[in-house]
Amino acid sequence: MAIDATPGRRASVAALARALAMALLLGACAAPAPDLAAFLERRALCDHFRGEVPDPPDAQRLREVAQQADAYCAGTDAQLAALRQRYRDDPVVTGQLAQFENRVER
């Protein structure tokens, strides 16, 4: 099994690691609001599938990955904007949300 070390894959893994670290940090400090916790988990999965590229290329697996990315990413652009607005006065949450791209949906 080959390890995919492409820049896109590394960025996806880094984004997933950041999101999971943020979720753990939030859990250690206090229970995050359900909307924020759900977003962090869903967006981490979204970013994971956005960066997954099968090696060797496989048309069926590419379709599966695209379907998963679409499923997890759908609605996250609007949800991110709403969370940024809702938590605009909370510097900790604002910092956590700043790591995410504004638009990831296709």
Is this structure's pTM higher than 0.75? no
pLDDT digits 0-9 by tens, 9-61: 666 666 666 666 555 555 555 566 889 999 999 999 999 999 998 888 899 99
DSSP-assigned states of every residue in the chain: ------HHHHHHHHHHHHHHHHHHHHHHHSPPPHHHHHHHHHHHHHHHHHH---SS--HHHHHHHHHHHHHHHTTHHHHHHHHHHHTTT-HHHHHHHHTS-S----
